[in-house]
Amino acid sequence: MIAACSIILAINIYEKDLEKYKNKGFFKNCAVKNNLTELNLDIWNNQNIHNLTGYSIEDIKRCLFDLATFISNNLQPNRLITFDINAIAKTNNYDGPIPQNIQTVLMNHEWAIQESFFWIKQIIPQFLYIKLNRDSNF
């Protein structure tokens, strides 16, 4: 699940940076509130990915929220500062076909797997350490 969440965050960060120069359509279905854009979760929240991985957005959204919060609070620069992290909790499972703009993005992001290895090697051990210590205090 952590790798899936890393991929979702990596693609959103990459597309947000790319949006400054081109490709303005990636976030077209994402709400903007108080100058914060919702993460584009359609890249995971669709039947194709659910069938491929066995994980729906409902299965991973807690992990995604925790990882995004950890990254926002602990990494500098905060690459998630322009995203509405709290909107993750309001996301529901897909209810239709995958949007065409998302199909194109998924085909063009083979690098996401490589990027996820960076997240796993560099960030995830710290995240797990903090999460395990926090959870053991309950």
Output the 3-class SS for the chain: CHHHHHHHHHHHHHHHHHHCCCCCCCCCCCCEECCEECCCHHHCCCHHHHHHHCCCHHHHHHHHHHHHHHHHHHCCCCCCCCECHHHHHHCCCCCCCCCHHHHHHHHCCCHHHHHHHHHHHHCHHHHHHHHHHHHHCC
The pTM is what?
Answer: 0.71
Nearest to 27 by CA among 97, 68, 84: 84
pLDDT of residue 106: 56
The one-digit pLDDT tens for each residue of the chain (138 residues) are 888 898 899 889 988 988 888 767 888 888 999 999 999 998 888 777 777 777 888 999 999 999 999 999 998 899 999 999 999 999 888 776 555 555 555 555 555 555 555 555 565 566 555 555 655 543
pLDDT of residue 137: 46
Domain region containing 112: 2-136
19: Cβ contacts below 8 Å, ≥ 6 apart: 26, 27
Nearest to 67 by CA among 45, 98, 39: 39
Q: How many domains are contained in the chain?
A: 1
pLDDT of residue 131: 54
